[in-house]
Amino acid sequence: MHSAHSREAPPKASWAPALKALVIRLHFYVGLLVGPFIFFAALSGTLYALTPALEKMLYQHALSTGTVTSDVAPHSLAEQIGAAQQYLGHDVLPSAVRPAPEAGATTRVMFSDPKLKSGEHRAIFIDPTNLEVRGDLTVYGTSGVLPLRKTIDQLHRSLMLGDLGRLYSELAASWLWIAALGGLAIWWFSPKVPRQDSSKLSRSARRLRTRRRHSTLGLVLLVGLLGLSATGMTWSKWAGDNFFTLLKIGGWTTPRVSVELDASESASTDPHAGHHDHSVSHAGHAIPLDDFDHVLTQARSAGLDAGLIELIVPGEQQAWKVREIDRSWPSQVDEVTVHPSSFQVLEQVAFSDYPLMAKLTRWGVDAHMGVLFGRPNQLLLTALGIGIMTMVAWGYAMWWRRRPSVSQPLWHTLGRLPFPALLLTGIISLGLGYAMPVMGVSLLVFLLIDGVRSLASTRQATTA
């Protein structure tokens, strides 16, 4: 008689190999199909990181005064704005003014222009010591970037194709972190191949050497890859909207001052009695140029001490808004509103009051743009961009050397997973696809391509 325990139970099939095969196949598709978009995002991002130094040379005349002297008192903002208006030949009020942040720098007087696109302003650069017009350039966005950086920014963000082009950058950002973590998993669970004499390498050995270099560089850049992916998605169109919806639900949004005034309050007094003859029109009402100096003085008294500061001209029934715009470390982005008649500070928001998530978002975006830590930040982004482009190139080199080989399709590897693992994979995929719609749609495209290739291979094998 045989004991009930004399028979050995058949070993349970492990799903780890199937999961590894799934990760490898997904990593392959991300590299093959999304790789070109990641490469271009890295290339344009590297160029963007270099633009601050290039802009200082290219726009030196506009950004700096003729002579650098600290013993000459600057003219008032009213006089500087008047010089800009005289240059333009009209008395229309600017939409915003950025006083010279330091000796040797120019004041930026920004005007709305119907000929320009949304978000663009015509900036007149004024020497605050002698009122000389030093430049006339188009600036873009809240950061006020100059034409060179604006062009590269649009390339990086949308291929200069508008909202449709933003699909490319969101696709790259959505898959970059998946590619990075997938590569880490593949490296961790793959056997380590000893180095060989490079003079005696076969084609297969050369591919393994390239894979080792690809993996090593990926490990070195891992934190940077994850950071770029996360911060890049924060200002993407679809995933970014979902991200900020989450921040709003959690109460983690960036606090902002309100510029709206109560109608009764704003109409109770005439804000410019006695000096209407020195005022110019803006949004249907008159504002004296001297008010710019009064508002700046009040903002400074309220604690806004950053060199980089911006005064935003109010519209009807609105208060002045003054904000710090120095996004280098430590961040100076406090803002206040100032009443247009009494010049009292109505509301103030300090960076120290931001929720933690809002602070992290601010720091992450500024680091992504290369402004948080200045030149070291820009050099790090340049190295990271070059590293990403190198990894993509090595990935394509591995694919090229392995072209005749056909790996197991995604559908096959998914079918090898036990039901609980398959269910979990499906739930995670649906969740990520909902949060990052571009990723979700592209994943369906991967599966469709993989299914067509698998079907074609099956038919070819059947007819052979």
Q: Is residue 285 in some structural domain? A: yes
Q: Is residue 461 in some structural domain? A: no
Q: Is residue 73 in some structural domain? A: yes
Residue 204 amino acid letter = S
- C-beta separation of 38 from 392 below 8 A: yes
Among 323, 353, 383, which residue terminates a domain? 353
Three-state secondary-structure class, residue 279: strand
Name every residue whose Cβ is closer than 8 Å to that of residue 90 and which is 6 or more positions away in sequence.
none
pLDDT of residue 142: 80
User: Domain of 22?
Assistant: 16-52+159-192+202-249+370-456
Q: Is residue 425 in some structural domain? A: yes
Residue 374 amino acid letter = G
Among 295, 321, 353, which residue terminates a domain? 353
User: Are residues 259 and 349 both part of a single domain?
Assistant: yes
Q: Please list, residue by residue across 26-63, b when 16 or more beta carbons sit within 10 angstroms of its beta carbon and e when fewer do.
A: bbbbbbeebbebbbbbbbbbbbbbbbbeebeeebeebb
User: Are residues 42 and 167 both part of a single domain?
Assistant: yes
pLDDT of residue 267: 39
Place of tokens 């003085």: 297
- C-beta separation of 243 from 358 below 8 A: no
What CATH number is attached to the domain comprising 340?
A: 3.10.450
User: Are residues 265 and 346 both part of a single domain?
Assistant: yes
Place of tokens 């490079």: 198
User: Are residues 234 and 273 both part of a single domain?
Assistant: no
User: Are residues 293 and 241 both part of a single domain?
Assistant: no
Longest distance between any two alpha carbons in the chain, whole Å:
117
User: Are residues 40 and 164 both part of a single domain?
Assistant: yes
User: Are residues 118 and 36 both part of a single domain?
Assistant: no
User: Are residues 344 and 376 both part of a single domain?
Assistant: no
Minimal CA–CA distance to 291: which of 81, 129, 110? 81
Distance, CA of 132 to CA of 125 (rounded, Å):
8
CA distances from 340 to 95, 203, 260, 343 (A): 15, 75, 11, 6
Angle (deg, nearest 10), helices 419-435 and 238-250: 90
Long-range contacts of 375-379, Cβ-Cβ distance < 8 Å, separation of 24 or more: 375/53, 378/49, 378/50, 378/52, 378/53, 379/49
User: Are residues 388 and 326 both part of a single domain?
Assistant: no
pLDDT of residue 464: 58
What pairing do the DSSP bridges indicate for beta strands 345-349 and 120-126? unpaired
- The beta strands (E) that lie in 69-210 are given as 96-98, 107-111, 120-126, 133-140
Tally of residues, the chain: 464
pLDDT of residue 407: 63
Distance, CA of 396 to CA of 36 (rounded, Å):
10
Torsion of CA 287, 288, 290, 292, to 10 degrees: 20
User: Are residues 47 and 88 both part of a single domain?
Assistant: no
- C-beta separation of 74 from 35 below 8 A: no
Question: How many Cα atoms occupy the beta-carbon half-sphere of 242 within 13 Å?
Answer: 14
User: Are residues 45 and 170 both part of a single domain?
Assistant: yes
Distance, CA of 367 to CA of 369 (rounded, Å):
5
Which ranges constitute the DSSP H helices of 159-267?
166-189, 203-234, 238-250, 263-267
Q: Is residue 138 in some structural domain? A: yes
User: Are residues 390 and 323 both part of a single domain?
Assistant: no
Q: Is residue 325 in some structural domain? A: yes
Distance, CA of 58 to CA of 48 (rounded, Å):
14
- C-beta separation of 309 from 325 below 8 A: yes
Q: Is residue 462 in some structural domain? A: no
Q: Is residue 77 in some structural domain? A: yes
pLDDT in tens, the chain (464 residues): 444 444 444 444 467 888 888 999 999 999 999 999 999 999 999 999 999 999 999 999 999 998 776 678 899 999 999 999 999 999 999 999 999 999 999 999 999 999 998 889 999 999 999 999 999 999 998 888 999 999 999 999 999 998 899 999 999 999 999 999 999 999 998 876 666 655 556 767 778 889 999 999 999 999 999 999 999 999 899 999 999 999 999 999 999 999 999 744 543 333 343 333 334 445 446 899 999 999 999 999 999 999 999 999 999 999 999 999 999 999 999 999 999 999 999 999 999 999 999 999 999 999 999 999 999 999 999 999 999 999 999 999 999 887 756 566 777 888 888 888 899 999 999 999 999 999 999 999 999 988 888 787 777 767 65
Distance, CA of 444 to CA of 457 (rounded, Å):
20
For the chain, how many structural domains are there in total?
A: 3
Among 303, 321, 353, which residue terminates a domain? 353
pLDDT of residue 197: 55
A 10 A CB-CB count for 210 gives: 18
